């Protein structure tokens, strides 16, 4: 199956700093990528849909100025957590949609996730 990578896998930062997380599709071009956030023992909550070449679509309640998403190429989307605070500590997972498999059960591939800890 297709591979999606995330970098970094873990990051610890100080409160007030910004953190960038990368999501890459390694063997297909992803016109759409999704960003999820997951607190321990909880569900994956969709934060935003990232479309290549256009602005991201944010879910209700997600601060777009806080969570900046850039999908500058067909293989890379980035999530920047700006002015991070301890409550932003979470597991962030991306997924990438292969347009060649659109509508199929296996159209979407998940990255391994990034664990963010804000001190």
Partner 1 sequence: AQKITQTQPGMFVQEKEAVTLDCTYDTSDPSYGLFWYKQPSSGEMIFLIYQGSYDQQNATEGRYSLNFQKARKSANLVISASQLGDSAMYFCAMREGGNQGGKLIFGQGTELSVKP
Number of residues in contact with partner 1 under rule CB under 8 A? 22
**Closest to 32 (Cα-Cα) out of 93, 119, 109:** 109
54 binds partner 1 (CB under 8 A): no
Work out which of 19, 21, 24, 32 binds partner 1, going by CB under 8 A. 32
Work out which of 15, 17, 29, 42 binds partner 1, going by CB under 8 A. 42
Give the whole-angstrom CA distance, residue 45 versus residue 38: 6
Site string for partner 1, 88-117 (x = CB under 8 A): ---x-x-x-x----x--xxxx-x-xx-x--
- Cβ atoms of residues 71 and 10 within 8 Å: no
Considering the complex, state which of residue 48 and residue 118 has its C-beta at the smaller distance from partner 1. Answer: 48
């Amino acid at each position: 199956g297709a591979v999606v990578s995330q970098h970094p896998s873990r990051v610890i930062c100080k409160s007030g700093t910004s953190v960038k997380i990368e999501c890459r599709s390694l063997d297909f071009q992803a016109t759409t990528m999704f960003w999820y956030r997951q607190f321990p023992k909880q569900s994956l909550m969709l934060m935003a849909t990232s479309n290549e070449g256009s602005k991201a679509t944010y879910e209700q309640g997600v601060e777009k100025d806080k969570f900046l998403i850039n999908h500058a190429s067909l293989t890379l989307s980035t999530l920047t957590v700006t002015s991070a605070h301890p409550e932003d500590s979470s597991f962030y997972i991306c997924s990438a949609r292969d347009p060649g498999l659109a509508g199929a059960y296996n159209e979407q591939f998940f990255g391994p996730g990034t664990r963010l800890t804000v001190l």
